[in-house]
Each structure stands twice: as structure tokens, then as C-alpha cells.
Structure 1
Amino acid sequence: MMRALLHVLVPFLLCVAVANTDLFRDVQVDVTYEHYAEKPLDYMPAFLAMPFNCVVNLGYIFLGLYWLLRPGDVEGTDSRYMREVFALMALFYGPVQWARLATLRRAPAVLDQWVTLPIFAWVPAWIDFIEYGEQRPQRAAALELFSVSSYFLALLHERGFDLALVCHVTAAVYKGLRAQLSRGDRSTGRYLLLATLACAGFVALKLLDHWLARFWLFQRLTGHFWSKVCDVLQFHFSFCFLTTLTRRKTAAQQE
């Protein structure tokens, strides 16, 4: 676990440091409560100003801890490393989003966007490990470096981050479908479908946050809140899909 923690923590801290400089001062990010449909409560402390959108970030923390501490029945050192890195990414992501809401500062808002990209990039890296039967650290490192660097598209165009995110999501879904067709079965297919639907829900509910707030059902638990629920579920079902395929590969190698 220490190796996984080191490999996640060091790049994360570097991103935190860079996000707190003026490098991304021209990136389009929202730093007001008007961006969210949930109404802030003036009598609450800053870290609970929008209670539901704040507390939902605990889902990432609980999910990360669950998959980080979950023992693998058939798991090698490399496969455990892949799981632990992904779990630590989820664990760190929750506080980043919470800090964005609590502070309304540019740096956490930039970081919220930025760290999303290497999280999606870890899915193709993990699938590479499944397909080729061994960890390929150089390729995984190159994928993550390329992913982190792709955020600089946000400096070139106001929709640069959106373009980078679409490419990451497309690559993750494509690699998942390819792995399912070559190695999956009905259960992994169900996990992949649920992860993909959760991803679609995450995007759609976030974009429709204010529009959905016209309906009473989404005036307290808003579209943005439910988009985060979908994001946590996307994480979870991705874990289910990837760990199931990894466990079968490891078991086949041991026979």
C-alpha cells in the first residue's frame, strides 16, 4: 500500500502546488454558489453551506476506504497495486470537491477539474494490466503523465477541459468494451453497463442542475447532488468490473 500511496500522493501534491499558482488564472471555473441549484444556508458553517452537495462527498471517502481495505481472495502484488491506486484516487477526490464548495477559491476548483482526468486514465492503465498479464509501469506512467498534461488544453480554449474529459471518458469506455468482448461474461457485462449508465447520469444531471431545480423533486436534492451519487456509483461499478476481470486472470494463471 505504501508504494501506491507514494505514487498517488506525490503527483497529487504537485498538482495542488501548481493549482495554487497563477498558471491557471485564465481557466474558466465557477467559484460562486450561483453555479449550483442548491441554495446555500447562511447560518451553516462554510463546509456545510450547501449541506447535501457537501456531505455527498463522503461517498468518495467511504468508497475509497472500502476498496482500499477490501481483501482480495485471489490477488497478486501487481493487481493489488492497481486496486489500491484507484481506491486512493477516490479517497483524495472527495476532499478536493468538498474544499471547492467550502472555500469557493480558484485553486480547489481547478484541482477538482484536473484530478478528474488521471482518474479516468487509470481505467485504460488497469485494463492494459489485465490484457497483457503483467504490470507495465512505463506505459501506466506515460498514460497518467499524458492525462495530467492534457489539462493544459484548458489554457488554449475555454472548452479545453471539456474536450480532454470527453477524450478520457471515450477511451475508458472503449477499453472497457474491448475487455468485455474479449474476456467478460454476463456479470462483468452488467457491471460495465451500470458503470456506463452511471457515467451518463453523472454528466447529464450535472449539466441539467438548474433546469431540474424547477421541479420540486430536485429542489432540495438537486441534479448536482444526484450527479455526485452517480459518480460514486460509477467508481464502484468500475471497481467491480475491473477487479472481477483481474481476479479471473490471476486465478487462471495459478491453475
Structure 2
Amino acid sequence: MKSALLHVSAPFVLCVALANTSVFDGVAVELSSDHYAERRLTSLPGFLAMPCNCLVNLAYICVGLYWLLWPRGVRETETGRYLRQVFALMAVYYAPVQWTRLALLRRAPAVLDQWVTLPIFAWVLVWIDFIERRPATWRATHAASLELCSILSYGLALAHRWGFEAALGCHVALAVFKGVRVQLARGDSRTRRYLLLAVLSCAGFVVLKLLDHWLAQFSLFQRLTGHFWSKVCDVLQFHFSLCFLSALTLKQQD
């Protein structure tokens, strides 16, 4: 746990520090509450001004803590446990980032919200790399290299208005591709179900977020908006990805 906490916290603090400098002043980010379909309630404090979009972030913390504490009775290798704990901690850390962005509507948390998304998806690639290589040939340097490349890829956001979207699209496509590949090579019916649910959750996360304002014309999506449901899908994406990768890792040990 200490190693996982250190290895998540150190780059996170570095990203927070850099996001609060002028380095990313040229990155295109939305800083208005009009970006969200949920109406801002001025009668509430800033951290609850968009109550549904704010409070849904608690679900990330709940899922992260669940996976930090589970599975106590299952025999895991040290590396398998570390991979699970890092991913769970990423979910816990992601919640306050998004919540701060909604509460403050400032550039630094908006940049950070985009930036930390990339190494989260990259951790799926790291974990699959461990499963494919098997413990005997996998090295921590593989994880460090992939995560560093992922963090640096946010530089595309400085190069072009749609640079972040391009980087995120590549991360998502690679995660899905490698997930399908490892499922075909090593999976079973249970892991196939987890993978399908993870991919569907990912699709829901993207589509519902993009259609946030369009969906708001329907009464069903006027308080619990598309953005809110996209966050629900994102939480499910975390959960089912952890189900999929944990199951494959334990299967690899048998």
C-alpha cells in the first residue's frame, strides 16, 4: 500500500504544481458553468452549486476504497496487489480533481481534470502488459515508461486545440484493443462479461458527456443530466475494468 500511495501521490502532486503555473495557459478548456447542462444553484455554496454533478464524485471514492480493501481472502502476488491498489487510488484521487473543477471553474483544476485522465487509462495498458508478459519477464520500468509517455502526451493539448481529445482517443483505443487481445488469449466467459461491461460503460461515458446539452431538452435529463450519467458510467468503467483485470491476474496465477 505504501508503494502504491507514493507512486500515485508523487506524480499527482507534480501535475498539480505544474497545472497551477502559466505552462498550460494556451490549453483550450471550458471555464463556464454554461458548459454543463445542470443549472447552477446560486443559493448553495460553490462546492454544491451543481449538486448532482458534484456529489456523483463521491462514487469514485466509494469504488476506489472498495477495491483498496478487496479482496482480503484472495491470494494475490505482491505485484498484482500493487497494480490493483494503484488503480483504486487513481479513482480516489480523481474525485476531488473533478469536484474542484466544478466548484471553482478555474483553469488549473480544468487542466488537471484533463491531464490526470490520461495516466488512468494508461494504467490499464500497464496492467495488461503485466498479464501478457507474466511476472517473470515484467519489470517496473515498463510501467514507469508507459505512464511517463502518457503524462507527456498531454503536451498535444498545447500544440492543437483538439490535442487533448486526440491523446485521450488514442489512450481509449489502445486500452480497448489490448483488452480485447488479452481476453482472446487468456480470458474466459466471466472476464468476457467484465470486458463487455467496461467497454459499454466507456462508450456511455463518452456519448452521454458529449450529448449533455442535447439531452437536457428531455425532462429525464434536466436535473440528472447527461454529464451526471456520464460520470456514473465512468465509475462503472473503473469498477468493471478492475473486475476484468483482477480476474485475469488471479487466473494467471492458477
- Could you say which TM-score interval applies, normalised by the shorter chain? over 0.9
Structure 1 residue 54, shift from structure 2 partner = 0.1
Q: Which residue of 1 aligns with 2:225?
A: 222
Structure 1 residue 105, shift from structure 2 partner = 1.0
Q: Does 1:243 align with 2:246?
A: yes
Q: Which residue of 1 aligns with 2:118?
A: 117
Q: What's the TM-score once normalised by structure 2's chain length?
A: 0.98
Q: Which residue of 2 aligns with 1:176?
A: 179
Q: Which residue of 1 aligns with 2:21?
A: 21
Structure 1 residue 249, shift from structure 2 partner = 1.0
Distance 1:175 1:187 in 2: 17
Q: Which residue of 2 aligns with 1:64?
A: 64
Distance 1:248 1:227 in 2: 31
Distance 1:68 1:148 in 2: 24
Q: Which residue of 2 aligns with 1:91?
A: 92
Q: Which residue of 2 aligns with 1:199?
A: 202
Structure 2 residues not aligned, in runs of 5+: none
After the TM superposition, list the runs of 4 or more consecutive aligned residues in structure 1 that deviate by more than 3 angstroms: none
Q: Which residue of 2 aligns with 1:158?
A: 161
Distance 2:94 2:158 in 1: 22
Distance 1:40 1:77 in 2: 46
Q: Secondary structure at the match of 1:116?
A: helix
Q: Which residue of 1 aligns with 2:216?
A: 213
Structure 1 residue 71, shift from structure 2 partner = 2.6
Q: Which residue of 2 aligns with 1:145?
A: 148
Cα displacement string for residues 163-199 of structure 1 (whole angstroms, at most 9, x for unaligned residues)? 0000000110011001100000111001000000000
Distance 1:46 1:65 in 2: 26
Distance 1:128 1:26 in 2: 34
Q: Which residue of 2 aligns with 1:128?
A: 129
Q: Which residue of 1 aligns with 2:30?
A: 30
Structure 1 residue 49, shift from structure 2 partner = 0.2
Q: Secondary structure at the match of 1:37?
A: coil
Q: Secondary structure at the match of 2:165?
A: helix
Distance 1:41 1:92 in 2: 26
Distance 1:78 1:220 in 2: 43
Distance 1:214 1:63 in 2: 31
Q: Which residue of 2 aligns with 1:188?
A: 191
- Structure 2 letter corresponding to 1:142: S
- Structure 2 letter corresponding to 1:19: A
Distance 1:30 1:220 in 2: 20
Distance 1:136 1:19 in 2: 30
Structure 1 residues not aligned, in runs of 5+: none
Q: Does 1:53 align with 2:56?
A: no
- Structure 1 letter corresponding to 2:20: N
Cα displacement string for residues 66-96 of structure 1 (whole angstroms, at most 9, x for unaligned residues)? 1011134020111000000000100000010
Distance 1:54 1:194 in 2: 25
Distance 1:185 1:26 in 2: 46
Q: CA RMSD in A?
A: 0.7
Q: Secondary structure at the match of 1:25?
A: coil
- Structure 1 letter corresponding to 2:227: H
Distance 2:165 2:139 in 1: 29
